[in-house]
Every structure is written in structure tokens, then in C-alpha cells.
Amino acid sequence: METFDKTKEINSLEFYAKEPNEKLDKIANMPEDNRPPKLENLFQLDGYLRSYEHEIVRRYNVFNDSLKRIEQIPGGLEAFTKSYNEYGIHVAKDGTVVCHEWSPGIDGMSLVGDFNKWDVNANPYEKLEFGKWRLVIMPNADGSCVIPHNSIIKIAVKKDGQVFYKLSPWAQYVTCAEKEIVFHQKLYNPPHPYQFKENRPKPSQSLRIYEAHVGISSPEGKVNTYRAFADDVIPRIHKQGYNTIQLMAVMEHAYYASFGYQVTSFFAASSLYSRCGTPDDLKYLVDKAHSYGIVMLLDIVHSHASKNVDDGLNRWNCTDGGYFHDNPRGFHTLWDSRLFDYTQIETQRFLLSNLRWWIEEYRFDGFRFDGVTSMIYHSHGMCDSFGHYDHYYGLNGDTDSLVYLTLANYMLHKFYPNVITIAEEVSGMPGLCRPVDEGGQGFDYRLAMAIPDLWIKILKHMRDEDWEIASIVHTLENRRYGEKHVAYAESHDQALVGDKTIAFWLMDKEMYDFMSTASPLTPIIDRGLALHKLIRLITYGLGGEAWLNFIGNEFGHPEWLDFPRIGNNESFHYARRQYNLIDDDLLRYKFLNNFDRAMNQLEEKHHFLSRGPAYVSWKHGSDKVVVFERAGLVFIFNFHSTQSFPGYKVGVEVPGVYKIALDSDAAEFGGHTRLDPNQEFHTYPEGYAGRSNHIAVYIPSRVVIVLEKVH
């Protein structure tokens, strides 16, 4: 292991300027016995991983080396990951403006704006060591800041006799005038900044996540505001029984239609052309959620960055390098974006500090990391065939990205014990959601991304009578043991133009004409309402250890999602959510909304998400019936399109008296009320389907019932 001088700062231009082969030699020569302290826990969960112990240990050693490197910097990990206190542009209490940047290889930089008439020579930065620059602007004679609140500012970067106007990578507030294209940084220094009123709620062990996008959350064709979302939408989310909100598109992105995934300013709360609101407005939103006991997750994008040059991180120091790889590895051809060099100490400083910024400044409670599959493979997961362990631990694995994600999770869980981290990861990389000290990457959950693909494939290509019940159950259960998954039937991906939501696949031919209770209940609408409920509940109950719903899908939103763009004449018509549809008592959307709330209430009462996996006792191909038990509940699904089954024999483990806790056929859910809600089901001591007892139930076609033990 390399010996570090504790009195000396380890900078990118010291260590990372060394030859690549020298770096690889250091990694290769790390001691083999520096194993994760709890590695055996990982092997007990999956014995096949023993064959890859060398690679798991190697990756852990690279992480450990990176962590030690950071700890040698003055202030260690604590100060390093709060570098937003130093970097960027800040106003001290006495009115002094203090600026600090890292931009290696440039000739000079200065701060310009309305305050100095955009004079590139008025306020130059001082050049420091290792590519760093510093500027101090003293206050006015009366102690006021020279740069007024909300003043437009930029950094003039000088290179080879030219001047390039940039935004600070650490910019905290950027806006764009209505008829302009390029965003500008504003000095956000309000005289009376927002003061948080609420304490952070403690996360539930059963996450019921509402995935939301502020901009589209109004029924009107506009970009909605943080305050309107807080006042109008959060109460709805709370009433529905969700305990977590996953907020999308908060990091500033110049192109609205990118859905927030082409980030231009990583520390700036999106204002979307000044439409969403100010940083204080976002704080108000988070505070309002906390007042309802709702945990707030941020959709974080550290997998790539926008290629924008004038208002993005790209070519910040007038090269393709800086925070990114200065070679083809620094470009994502499919996403047309830039890729970070995660070994670069200043990139680590920037991204790790970015995570703490959103927690400390805005009080978010955790993150959903976007694009993890793209990060952890050199191929970015494109055209890969996942499943074989050699793929996870072979040369396609990107050690740099895996180490960064491990650093991020280690840091977050060290400083914030209640933090939640979720990986958008489809390959099934072993250990991704195991603790760092076991040799894992430390995530708490990963998205069960195969499930929505399954439902779309079935609805698009298969007749009801051809549904393969065993295959459906297998996909819902097929996840890594000991690693928690977020189950979902559909997310924002399925809502976008080019795809269809489940409701649209089921009912789009008649949703505009027959969703009124005053109109006939057609076979298409009847089928759609029934299957929408069954698909969501079987995914909820069987597919993971947490549940996620995308905004509007809880009531079968009747239209896809399409942001304003040239192809639709910049229309906002499809960039909205029509909550008014569930407020209209004459429309059938209320039935789906009621069922969604009932599912959450059932989970809140029994916490089946966090009480171990389900036991599937029955999956009958021709009957189209699935039975499983979880947390003492008995879930019975009949997917058959026409056949109802009286006296259907169902195995149960625990003897006693059961009653219906949830019935998708109830009137409040738009059903046909074929079941008696007060009926009791007594167990018989004869075992059945691998269970110690059994009951007999009437299960109508396209209905799910959930039984709970009452005696």
C-alpha cells in the first residue's frame, strides 16, 4: 500500500498526472490479504462469488486506496465532501465575495456581470497551485455586498488569447430569459433566506415511493412551480398513502425535454426558465413533504453530463478534459453526453460534495442514482447479455465507476445513517446492494427493471388466454437474494411518447369515450380496469421490498407524456397530469385511484414489503390462478378472462379464520361486487400445495382478493 504524507494535499495534478501504467501497477501490487472485513457474509448469500474473490478484493482495495487518498487531504472526508463551502462564488456575512475554482491549463479567469459592467479585467482571479484560482471582492464602504442579490454573473475564462463566458461548475442558481437560449448564473443571496421548520422524518422500512416531476404536475399546460406542487400535489400523495417522494429533474437542465437527464448545473435547483421557482421555493417543497412525514429522494444524475459548452460543465477549462475523460472514453455516443473521469480527485470532490449539498442545503433524505448500468460497464450495458458472473467480474467491468459509487455510498451512510440510496441498475451486478464492508457497493435498493418490460411485452404481444403464469411469477420473484429491490409495474420510461402506459395499452381505444359512469361499461374498459388493478397488485406484493408509482399512473392517466419540442410545436398539452379526472365523481378514474390507495393502506397495516419474501404456493397455467402468502396475508389472483372458480382450494400455512382485506371486485374499485365482504374463511387441517392447511374460496374472473387472519 502506498505511504502518504499526511501534511501534504494529494491533488489531481500530483497523483493522477502519472503514467496510466504506473497507476495500474500500484493497483496490481496491492496486498491480497486486505479483504473486506465481512466478505464471508457476501459468500454466504451467494457461494458462486467465491470463485471471484480475487476481483472482489481487488475492487475493494482500489476503493480503500481512494478513500485513504481523500483522508490525507486536510480536513479528510468530512471537509472534502463539503467543498461547496469553499468552491464556487460565496458571499460572507460581512459582504465579502469569495470565489474559488479549479480549472487547470487555462491562462486566466475573471468574474464579470452587471456589477462591473462585464469588464473582463476588473475582477481577475489569482492563480494558485494545482489548477486552482481564487478571487476576493471586498464589500462596499457601508458593508453591503458589491454584487446585489439576483445579479447576473459569469466567469470569463481566458485561453490562447480568447475569452469564453462560463457558469461556475458550483453555481447554485441559474436562469434563462424567456426568449434566450443560454442560461446565466445569478448570485442568490436573499436578505431573508428560507428557514426550515420541520424535522426530517425517519424512513419507513417499507418504502412506498411516488415518482414525481414538478414541471408536469399541473393539469394546465405549463411548467408547474415548486410551491404549487407543495401545496396542491403533496397532500394528494399523502392521502394516497405514499411515504416517499422521488423527485425528478431537479438538477438544472437547459433542455426541458431531456426529462432532467442532461444536467448542465449540478448544484443548481432547476428554475426552468424561471418558471419552477427559486431555491427557497424548493426548500419550501421539501419542508412541506416533511410536515406530512414524507421522505424526499432526489433523482441524482452522476452517470453523465450535458455536452452544453456555454452553460454546462463541458469544456469548462477549454479542453475535453477537466472533470471528464479527455479521450473517446469521455463521450457517451448513445446519450450524446460527456462522461466523468471518476479517478480524478477533483471529479470526486465535485460529485461527492454534490451529494452532500442536496442533503445539507435542501434536506433531501436520499437519492435514486440514474444510469448505474451505464456507469459500471465499459460497454455502458449496450447490447450486453447479462447473467453470467464472468460478465460482472471480467474486463468489461468499469472499476473506476464502481469505486466512485462505493465511495458515494460509504460517505453517505457514514454521515447520514438514515439515508436511502437506490440504483437504477438492470444487469444484476452481485453485491451492488450489499454493505461496503462486505465487498459490495453499498446501495440500499436497486430498481427491479425487468418487471415493467415484462408487462409491456405481455400486453403488446400476447392474448389474455396465452399469458404464461409461471413466467410472470418467475420474473416477479427473480432477484438477488439479500439485495432489496424496488418493484414497479411502470415508471416514467413507460409513460413517454414512443411507449404506452399500462392503462393506455389496455384501454386507449375507448378511454376518451367510455370512462364516464354515465356511459356503458364496455368489454374493453371492463377488462382494462380489472387488469390494471391485478397487474399493479401482483407486482406490488411479489416483486420487491419497496414499491414505486409514477405520477398519474395510480389512476390510469389517459395520455402519454411528451415535453414541448419542435416535433410537437412546443406544446405543453401532454406535459401535464390531469388530477381533475379523479376529482370528477362521474369518471371511472376514481376507481383505479381508490384501489391504489387501498393497496398502500394494506401495506401500511401489514408492512408486507419489509417482512420477508413471499411464498408462492400455486401458479396454475390453465386456471390462470396465482396464490402466495406474505406477512401473514394470502394473495389470490385469478387472471382468467372468463372463468370464475367456486370453492377453489388454496393452501395456507397458518390455521385460523380469514376475512377479505382487499377485493378488487368491490364497488368502490369499479368491480362487479361478486363477493361478500363479511364472509369468513375457516382453514381445514389437511395440507395442500405445500402448505399445512387449506381454505376454499370463490374467486371470480379477473379478480384479486387478499385475505387476512382475524382469529
Q: How confident is the model at residue 492 (pLDDT cuts 50, 70, 90)?
A: confident
Between residues 385 and 191, the one the model is more confident about:
191
Q: How confident is the model at residue 500 (pLDDT cuts 50, 70, 90)?
A: confident
Q: How confident is the model at residue 180 (pLDDT cuts 50, 70, 90)?
A: confident
Q: Is the pLDDT of residue 9 over 60?
A: no
Between residues 236 and 11, the one the model is more confident about:
236
Between residues 275 and 572, the one the model is more confident about:
572
The region, left, alpha or beta by phi > 0 then psi within -120 to 50, assigned to residue 694 is beta
Q: Is the pLDDT of residue 2 over 60?
A: no
Average pLDDT, the chain: 93
**In Å, how far are 111, 138, 152, 157, 168 from 115, measured between CA atoms?**
10, 13, 8, 18, 17
Residue 184 confidence (pLDDT): 92
**In Å, how far are 5, 315, 317, 338, 613 from 326, measured between CA atoms?**
29, 10, 12, 10, 46
Q: Is the pLDDT of residue 7 over 50?
A: no
Q: How many CB atoms lie within 10 A of CB 151?
A: 17
From CA 486, how far away is CA 473, in angstroms rounded? Answer: 16
Q: Tell me the per-residue pLDDT of 537-547, one tens digit each, with 9 for 90 and over.
A: 999 999 999 99
Q: Is the pLDDT of residue 96 over 60?
A: yes
Strands 295-300 and 244-248: parallel
Q: Tell me the per-residue pLDDT of 23-66, one tens digit each, with 9 for 90 and over.
A: 444 444 444 458 999 999 999 999 999 999 999 999 999 999 99
CA angle 366, 371, 373 (to 5 degrees): 115
Residue 608 confidence (pLDDT): 98
Residue 5 confidence (pLDDT): 35
- Of the given ranges (117-121, 340-344, 427-431, 561-565), which has the lowest mean pLDDT? 561-565
Q: Is the pLDDT of residue 275 over 90?
A: no
Residues of the chain with pLDDT > 70, as a percent, come to: 95
Between residues 250 and 494, the one the model is more confident about:
250
> 537 is written with which cell numbers?
397488485
Residue 497 confidence (pLDDT): 73
From CA 316, how far away is CA 308, in angstroms rounded? Answer: 10
Residues of the chain with pLDDT > 90, as a percent, come to: 89
State the DSSP string of 635-677: EEEE--SS--EEEEEEEESS-SEEEEEEETTSGGGT----S-T
> Residue 664, exposed/middle/buried by CB under 10 A (0-12, 13-18, 19+)?
buried
**Contact in structure between 248 and 212 (CB atoms under 8 Å):** yes
Cα–Cα nearest to 532, from 504, 510, 503, 492? 503
From CA 487, how far away is CA 447, in angstroms rounded? Answer: 7
**In Å, how far are 173, 357, 589, 590, 668 from 518, measured between CA atoms?**
50, 52, 13, 14, 16
Q: Tell me the per-residue pLDDT of 379-398, one tens digit each, with 9 for 90 and over.
A: 999 888 888 899 999 999 99
Residue 175 confidence (pLDDT): 94
Q: How many CB atoms lie within 10 A of CB 698?
A: 17
Q: Is the pLDDT of residue 181 over 90?
A: no
From CA 634, how far away is CA 653, in angstroms rounded? Answer: 10
Residue 560 confidence (pLDDT): 86
Q: Where are the alpha helices (DSSP H) in 72-190?
A: 76-80
Catalytic positions are: 370, 424
State the DSSP string of 141-170: TTS--SS-TT-EEEEEEEETTEEEEE--TT
CA angle 26, 31, 32 (to 5 degrees): 120
**Contact in structure between 486 and 450 (CB atoms under 8 Å):** no
**Contact in structure between 581 and 532 (CB atoms under 8 Å):** no
Residue 74 confidence (pLDDT): 96
Q: Tell me the per-residue pLDDT of 622-650, one tens digit each, with 9 for 90 and over.
A: 999 999 999 999 999 999 999 999 999 99
Q: Tell me the per-residue pLDDT of 245-270, one tens digit each, with 9 for 90 and over.
A: 999 999 999 999 898 999 999 999 99
- Of the given ranges (312-326, 483-497, 518-532), which has the lowest mean pLDDT? 483-497
Residue 499 confidence (pLDDT): 77
Q: Tell me the per-residue pLDDT of 441-476, one tens digit each, with 9 for 90 and over.
A: 999 999 999 999 999 999 999 999 999 999 999 999
Q: Is the pLDDT of residue 477 over 50?
A: yes
Spell out the domains of the chain, with CATH numbers in brackets: 12-80 (no CATH), 207-521+544-593 (3.20.20.80), 609-709 (2.60.40.1180)
Q: Where are the alpha helices (DSSP H) in 443-584?
A: 450-461, 469-477, 492-495, 502-507, 523-542, 580-583
